[in-house]
Structure 1
Amino acid sequence: MASQVSLIWKIQQRPITMFIAIAILTLLAISGFERLKLDIDFSDYFSPADKRYMAQKSMSEQFERHDQLWMMLETSEDWRQQSLQTQLIEFIGRLEANSDISSIQGYNQFIQGLAHTDKILSYKTHPRLASVLSANGQAILLRLQIEPPQAVAEQNALTQSQWLDNVLQKIDSDSQQYWQVNSVNIYLNGTHALNWQYAKVLRHDLSWFAPGLLGIIFIMAALFIRQKMWVVGLCLNNGLTLVLTLGLAAWCQLTLAAISAFVPVIIVTLGLAYAAHLYFGWQAQINAGKTAQQALSYTVKVNQAPLFYSSITTIFGFSLLTLSPSPPIQSFGLLVAFAVLCNYLLSLTSLVFFAKYAKAKHEPILNFDKVIQLGKFNAKRPLAVMLGIVLFSVLSLMSVAKLTLNDDPLSYFSSANPFTVSSQKMSQYFSGINLQHYVIAGLEPKQIDKAEVSFIYKFSRYLKLQPQVVDVQHIGDWIKAAGIGQTQFRQILAQNSVADLRLQSELSADKYSTLLTLYLQPMTAMELIQFEQKVNTWLAEHATSVDVSPPLGSNLQFAHLSIDNANNMLLSFAVALIALAILLSILKKSCLFGFMGLLLNFLPLLWVFAVWQLNGGFISLGTAVVLGMMLGIIVDDTLHLMLKLPDEQTMTTAMMWHSLQKVLPVISFTTLTIALGFSLGLVSAFTPIAQLSLLSCLVVIFAWGFDVLMLPVLFQRWLINKQTQKSLD
């Protein structure tokens, strides 16, 4: 470490070179901003190489299912009334005037005659009428297909997102204005509507996070860091770190999504918290009568090793998020890891440069003196403390064992969100939006025939008996509605194209495969997985004469993603925890230090998730990420504590309290800073960020409590008593 300290001061002797290098990197980062891949698309949470994602995409290409945008019109009257139908036709004409809308299908096809004219198959009752007209006639569905102009389609994702926002905003406002007189309610649903809400959530969060971060910096500066040059250096470092991190995202084409809005909060919060160790070490030396240069030399020398190792562990912790199967979470981890590296380098270069010009004047350092008194009070009751920790830890293990995966991407918005309301209305009047598909084909590539249709009827009967199934739609519905037999249907199918029969949504163009669609009740991720396994068991026994694809659906795909992500985050947490214990054991040359570090970082997470479960919490995308990232954050205070304490061989009670007197107040400040920064996520309109924020705040606070209340007890009980026993021997 002495060589690194020497390098820091050599760099300070060439400030112009240092700032030129920083300026070049900053300009390089800014030049790549136009390449930023800010995708506001639900499908971006899936890896393009994921087999389920590829199968889902293949199915969408094989069958013409334009389900991206549904409009539901609700009224207290009956849409089968002539007056309402006349108005609907006029409304359809206005929508068709919008150049962004390429086609409109649904209930309008029935009143305009499009669902009946030129049809080869005649029906007593159209098999899909109930899908677009509710049983009481008070709600209808329109399926709008929108296509971006060529100029927009060739642009980046951000431009396409802006186009989608403008189009849906216009469709919604024009529709609301047209139907206002008739008191008709308009609801938009489908993947386009879902992505629209993701974009709104992202803008909402960023509009709160930016001023919130500025407010926290102002509060910390006004109450604790009263040196202007230090504040200038901290703000510059955070600004540069953000710019460089965005540059990395741009040049590496990292996938950014709604959850990425929390990345700047983490970057600024950690930057402020980590650099605080340098400032408070400097101010303590000023108060002790040292000159500004002496104080700066001292704080760099004392804090360089803890900052180095804490940065390494934080980088390692966030880098483990790349084990997630979801690209946005992988990007999340990489960006924060890179930002921590930037902040470390800038703290020991540009921040030190500005600190050299700070005025040496006495300032009160923190107001956390009672923290030491609390620690001493607790240390007098070691048996009670250790017994309580063991008891609560055992109870926490029992509670955590009951945690379940209860994730649902359609519930990531508040109950008042337009997409949430529209989803509830879709379930009220129709079959809901929780869809699953099975692609069914013969064992050989040929037109579907009697064997496939017979199996479809059998499979459908089984599915309709399941309590989770609301409705089942398949090619057999058309055969029954037309009143023809399977032989006659085979002849008609052989003589006509799929387009002529208007069965593109359920028959592939080559007629080799057909689609069976399930409408399911709202289900959690685990319930979806269990239902899938149950159906797969039945298929393994009965689907011997046909080829049936795995179940395809966005909700089911997300359920698998949630489970894989949770398992990977748990693995990353275990790896990081073991690595921390090994690192502390090596640095302090004591396995006891390593074991204590393990306890100090494992138990806070255990207790927090136990409290989370007792309050009805569950494992979701946001909560699983906490496992992957929080160890890399709370370990920093542990390292500052451990590395600034005497070694096991020289530890005494007086030396322990002298060291803790210096470190615990600073750790209290960093805990307060991180808790305040992360609490900004509580205002997020995106549930994963709100959950991540809440659990992160709790983990940081619990970790601080363990450092203050548990660490002195462990040191005194295990290390100091051990030394005393050795001296007596």
Structure 2
Amino acid sequence: MHIQTVWKIQRYPVMLLVAIAFLLLLSLLGLHRLNLDVDFSDYFSPEEPRFIAFNNMSDNFERHDQLWLLLESKQDWRDGELNHSLLAFVSQIDKQSDIISVQGYNQFVQGHAQLNKILPYKKHPRLDSVLSNDGHAILLQFQLDESKASQFKTRSLWLIDTLDNIKLQSQQFWKPLKVNSYLNGTHALNWQYAKVLRHDLTWFAPSLLLVIFVMAALFIRQKVWIAALCLNSLIALVLTLGVAAWLKLTLAAISAFVPVIIVTLALAYASHLYFGWRRAVNNGLSNELALKETVRVNQAPLFYSTITTIFGFCLLTFSPSPPIQSFGLLVAFAVLCNYLLSLTTLIYFAKFSVAKPQPIRLFTTVIGLAKYNVKRPNSVMLGIVLISIAATFSVSKLTLNDDPLSYFNEDNPFTVSSQKMRQYFAGINLQHYVVESVSGEQVDKTELSFIYKFARFLKAQTEVNKVQHLGDWIRSTGLGQRQFHRLLANNSASELHLRSELSASKSAALVTLYLKPMTAMELVAFETKVNHWLKQNASQVTVSPPLGSNLLFAHLSIDNANNMLSSFGVALIALAVLLSILKHSLLFGFMGLLLNFLPLLWVFALWQLNGGFISLGTAVVLGMMLGVIVDDTLHLMLKLPSERSEDSIALMWQGLSKVLPVISFTTLTIALGFSIGLLSDFAPIAQLSLLSCLVVLFAWGFDVLMLPVLYQRWVLRRSNA
């Protein structure tokens, strides 16, 4: 925004306030459109072919992994002593209006499972899926009536209410009998996502207010400025929520961190105007002249830092995940709002502040640290080179090890139940293959022969715990090929209780794998191995790609990491070009590249040394943090003379003495604000928070310790030569 435009707007404050009020009203009117439902599937793009195929599979076959209740007892459930209690519990649960049916081990106790034409001397093929080998754990499958969700404001609230009731009822019934109960499945996963979001929002708001209060009380101490900064942050936040509502952007648990970033950046960036005003007042200028001076001095750095921050967060739109795309768009919009508000409403309200000279409580000792460091340029540069080489070696060892089922704390109910599922059963890492006849007719000899052969191959793989398919049922019934063909022709898949293995059209069969816990890269490697086998052995049938939520997320994580890395490279080049243009020197561009690349390199090296890996949250750091840390570099470099003169060294320290203390304040503000994410029970937010704080602190260290050295050695010495 041009300086003359800033002061022209100040002449019409009523129009300014009316315009803001109108935008706020528009945003508030749209808040009812805000989708606050939290669902694991939201992380996938609706246009993703794998996601579409997965949903089609879910529509064509009966899902048996949506909500499980695992009951663990020291007694053996096969002894029969707990059977009467189990039937009483099922009868009690069945009375709940939210539950359509209860299936699982209770069907064997009630005798319903034996109606599936299983030979009396054969073990039912599905018994092992609901009764552990040692007999100490059983599974019950709940089918929920999702139409009840319409009675709640959001589906997430319905899920919390329903599963909390089931959990409470289970504990009250089974605790006297010393039976432990655990909920698992996709509904339980979304239940915990919703609870984590509620927890985070509960803690983030007061923590953010505390950070604002502490930084304001210690450093700003001007009531009008503090009120104006808070008001601007609130306006930017409301307008951003309005954009999310009207555009119906996809939000997820990671979106809970967006308000923290918005308010933190708003406070940090606008503080440059305050400290410029305070310095001008201390130099004897009146309030109005001091405001004009701070706008004049900071207008260019604020503009370019806003552009780079917006650019950095907009790079998140290249992520394949809609919530991360929304994350980037919302913060980018909020940064733009904050820039405009800082040069309009902030300046307007600042006119009413009391312009009395006061000492500026800032980090003036930083200047002494920078001067001390400049005296040892060779040691500094050698140390940076050696550490950077070691960091590069460390970063090269980073691996992609993302698992959406491990995003919660160890004591989280879903985490505990997942451990129990692995302890007693085949686990929760499911993967499916849909086998169809080439002609589209009823599954017959060719398809069954392939399924048997495919299952033998899969069972031989070390990654596979268990394989479940239609052939298990056929063997248990003792049916021959002709008998099965006739039975299938005369009965529907539902009548045969085979909807988990056979589509309604009976032209497709489902092969389900229970895999061991695997990282994203291991899942993709396993997929590649199976695809190679299928290419050689599946010529007579049609086999779908592997379908599973974990595999979907593995591909999402890999694609997201690759896109964020590419975006990071683009942003680095753009930064170098921008600085080269602004300072008319390629050296400034190269220095800016180093000052903003090395902090990320060092932080990720430390992350790897401490056992860290690339995940959804850590990859986002690559996409967004360059736009944040480059702002301080811009504020510093724009204050430095581009060429050597007689007093260039004095001018350098004069410029640095004005900016280094201020960027120390902004660094501390951003670090404290972003550290709020460490309170989250959601791993991506905690990882994003930790790495962002470290990157900001390391970037500050490079600006303080490395920039003066590089400037004197490269720019001033070269100009002198």
Hey, what does 1:507 align to over in structure 2? Answer: 502
Three-state SS of the structure 2 residue aligned to 1:503 is coil
The alpha carbon displacement at 1:561 in A equals 0.2
1:344 to 339, 343, 346: 339
Output the CA distance in 1 between the equivalents of 2:643 and 2:601. Answer: 28
2:692 partner SS: helix
1:102 paired with 2:103, answer no
Of 171, 189, 211, the residue aligned with 2:206 is 211
Shift of 1:647: 2.0
Question: Which of 135, 158, 162 does residue 163 from structure 1 map onto?
Answer: 158
Matched, 1:7 2:9: no
For 2:666, the equivalent position in structure 1 comes to 670
Distance 2:585 2:15 in 1: 42
Give the unaligned 5+ runs of structure 1.
none
Counterpart for residue 723 of structure 1: 719
| Structure 2 partner of 1:179 | 174
Range that drifts further, 378-387 or 259-268: 378-387
| TM-aligned CA deviation for residue 120 of structure 1 | 8.0
Asked whether the equivalents of residues 318 and 334 of structure 1 are also in contact (C-alpha less than 8 Å), the reply is yes
- Among candidates 675, 680, 695, match of residue 676 of structure 2: 680
Q: Give the residue type in structure 2 aligned to 1:312.
A: I
Which of structure 1's runs of 4+ aligned residues deviate more than 6 A?
120-123
Instruction: Give me the whole-angstrom Cα distance separating, in 2, the residues matched to 1:531 and 1:366.
Output: 59
Q: Specify the alignment match of 1:61 in structure 2.
A: 59
- Equivalent positions of 1:439-450 (< 5 A) are 439-450=434-445
What SS does structure 2 have at the residue aligned with 1:438? strand
Deviation at 1:123, TM superposition (A): 6.5
Counterpart of 2:264 in structure 1 is: 269
8 Å CA contact 2:117–2:477 kept in 1: the answer is: no
Which of 506, 513, 524 is the equivalent residue of 1:518? 513
Task: Tell me the equivalent position of 2:114.
Answer: 116
Which residue of 2 is the match for residue 707 of structure 1? Answer: 703
- For normalisation by structure 1, the TM-score amounts to 0.97
Q: Which amino acid aligns with 1:703?
A: A
> Between the two proteins, what is the percent identity of the paired residues?
67
Contact kept? 2:118, 2:476, Cα under 8 Å: no
Q: In the alignment, which residue of structure 2 is the partner of 1:148?
A: 146
Contact 1:450 1:487 in 2 (8 A): no
Report how far residue 486 of structure 1 moved.
2.6
1:81 & 1:625 partners in 2: Cα distance?
A: 53
Q: Which residue in the other structure is 1:553 paired with?
A: 548
Distance in 1 of aligned mates of 2:656 and 2:282:
18
CA distance, structure 1, for counterparts of residue 441 and residue 594 of structure 2: 63
Instruction: State how far apart, in whole Å, the 2-side matches of 1:83 and 1:617 are.
Output: 48
Q: 1:488 Cα deviation (Å)?
A: 2.4
For the residue of structure 1 that corresponds to 2:103, the secondary structure is: strand
User: Separation in 2 of the partners of 1:121 and 1:41?
Assistant: 42
Output one character per residue of 1:552-591: Cα deviation in whole Å (capped at 9) or x when no partner: 0000000000000000111111111111111111111111
Which of 288, 292, 295 pairs up with 2:283?
288
- 399, 404, 409: which is aligned to 2:399? 404
Q: 1:226 aligns with which of 221, 236, 239?
A: 221
The 5-angstrom pairing of residues 597-612 of structure 1 reads: 597-612=592-607
Partner of 1:632: 627
**Separation in 2, partners of 1:591, 1:82:** 81
Q: Deviations over 1:231-276 (max 9, x none)?
A: 0100100011110000000000001110000001100100000011
SS at match of 1:145: strand
Q: Counterpart of 2:494 in 1: which secondary structure?
A: helix
**Displacement of 1:80:** 2.1
Structure 2 counterpart of 1:48: 46
Task: Give the AA of the match of 2:291.
Answer: L
Cα distance between partner residues in 2 of 1:395 and 1:480: 59
Superposed CA deviations along residues 425-460 of structure 1, whole A, max 9, x for unmatched, are: 001111000000000112211111111111111111
Q: For residues 46-95 of structure 1, give each alpha carbon's deviation from its aligned partner in whole angstroms, at most 9, with x where no partner exists.
A: 00100010000000011112421000111100112333101111100110
Amino acid at match of 1:183: K
Partner of 1:573: 568
Displacement of 1:480 in angstroms is 1.3
What is the alpha-carbon root mean square deviation over aligned residues? 1.3
Is residue 69 of structure 2 the alignment partner of residue 71 of structure 1?
yes
Deviates more, 1:676-685 or 1:141-150: 141-150
Counterpart Cα distance in 2 of 1:118 and 1:305: 76
AA matched with 2:38: I
2-side partners of 1:182 and 1:614: how far apart? 47
Q: Pick the aligned partner of 2:36 from 27, 35, 38.
A: 38
> Superposition pairs for residues 301-450 of structure 1, below 5 Å?
301-450=296-445
Per the alignment, residue 497 of structure 1 pairs with 492
Alpha-carbon distance change, 325 to 71 in structure 1, aligned in 2, over 3 angstroms: same
1:281-314 alpha-carbon deviations (Å, 9 max, x no partner) = 1101111121111111100111011101100110
Give the letter aligned to residue 395 of structure 1. Answer: A
User: Residue 285 of structure 2 aligns to which amino acid in structure 1?
Assistant: K
Residues 123 and 482 of structure 1 are in contact (CA less than 8 Å); yes or no, is this contact kept in structure 2?
no
Aligned position for 1:654: 650
Shift of 1:154: 8.4
Q: Secondary structure at the match of 1:616?
A: coil
Alpha-carbon distance between aligned partners in 2 of 1:507 and 1:380, rounded to the nearest angstrom: 77
Task: Identify the range of structure 1 (559-568 vs 447-456) with the bigger mean alpha-carbon deviation.
Answer: 447-456
Bigger mean CA deviation after superposition, 355-364 or 664-673: 355-364
Cα deviations by residue, 1:647-693 (Å, 9 ceiling, x for unpaired): 23557211111100100000000000000000001111000000000
User: How far is the alpha carbon of 1:172 from its aligned partner?
Assistant: 0.6
Query: In structure 1, how many angstroms separate the alpha carbons of the residues matched to 2:255 and 2:700?
Result: 27
| CA pair 586-154 structure 1, distance change in 2 beyond 3 A | farther
Identify the match of residue 260 of structure 1 among 252, 255, 260: 255
Residue 519 (structure 1) shift: 0.3
Distance 2:118 2:259 in 1: 59
Secondary structure of 1:80's match?
Answer: helix
- Which whole-Å deviations, capped at 9, do the CAs of 1:164-200 have from their partners, x for residues lacking one? 1111111110110011110110000001100010011
**Conserved? CA contact 1:406–1:525, under 8 Å:** yes
Measured after TM superposition, the shift of residue 510 of structure 1 is 1.2
- Matched residue type, 1:673: T
Q: Does structure 2 conserve the Cα–Cα contact (< 8 Å) formed by 1:122 and 1:482?
A: no
Q: Which runs of 5 or more structure 2 residues have no equivalent in the other structure?
A: none
Query: Would you say how many aligned residue pairs link Structure 1 and Structure 2?
Result: 720
Report the CA distance between 1:397 and its aligned residue. Answer: 1.0
- Greater shift, 239-248 or 80-89, is seen at 80-89
Counterpart residue type for residue 500 of structure 1: E
Give yes or no for the alignment of 1:691 onto 2:675: no
Q: Secondary structure at the match of 1:501?
A: coil
CA distance in 2, matches of 1:111, 1:90: 12
